[in-house]
Chains A and B, each alone.
Chain A
Amino acid sequence: MSTTETTASGIGPVEGAPGYSVENPAPVIEAPRKRTKKTPKSTRGNFEMYGWLFMRLSGVVLVVLVLGHLLIQLVLDGGVSKVGFAFVAGRWASPWWQVWDLLMLWLAMLHGCNGLRTVINDYAERANTRLWLKALLYTATVWTILLGTLVIFTFDPNIR
Chain B
Amino acid sequence: MATPVLDKEEAAGKPEPGFADSPYITVTFRVRRFNPEVSAEATWEDFQLEIDPKERVLDGLHKIKWDLDGTLTFRRSCAHGICGSDAMRINGKNRLACKTLIKDINPEKPITVEPIKGLTVLKDLVVDMDPFFQAYRDVMPFLVTKDTNEPTRERLQSAEDRARFDDTTKCILCAACTSSCPVFWNDGQYFGPAAIVNAHRFIFDSRDEAGEQRLEILNDKDGVWRCRTTFNCTDACPRGIEVTKAIAEVKRALITRRF
Contacts and interface: CB of A to CB of B under 8 A. Distances in A.
A27 B187 contact: no
Interface in B115-158: 118-122, 128, 130-131, 134-135
Nearest to A53: B255
B182 A48 contact: no
B207 interface: no
Interface residues of B, number: 41
B225 A20 contact: no
A124 to B, nearest CB: 8
Contacts of A27: 36, 40
A20 B220 contact: no
Nearest to B117: A31
A39 interface: yes
Contact of B71 (A10, A34, A53): A10
A46 B258 contact: yes
A29 B116 CA distance: 12
A14 to B, nearest CB: 4
Interface in B175-216: 182-183, 185-190
B37 interface: yes
B188 A17 contact: no
B187 A122 contact: yes
B25 interface: no
Nearest to B134: A35
Interface in B214-228: 219-223, 225-226, 228
Given A11-B35, A20-B37, A52-B251, 11 more contacts: A25-B36, A25-B37, A28-B121, A29-B42, A31-B119, A34-B131, A42-B221, A42-B222, A48-B219, A49-B219, A49-B258
Interface of A: 6, 10-11, 13-14, 17, 20-22, 25-37, 39, 41-42, 44, 46-49, 51-53, 118, 121-123, 125
Interface of B: 34-42, 70-71, 118-122, 128, 130-131, 134-135, 182-183, 185-190, 219-223, 225-226, 228, 251, 254-255, 258
Q: Which 8 A-B pairs have the closest CB atoms?
A: A26-B40, A48-B225, A17-B39, A25-B36, A29-B121, A35-B131, A26-B36, A14-B39
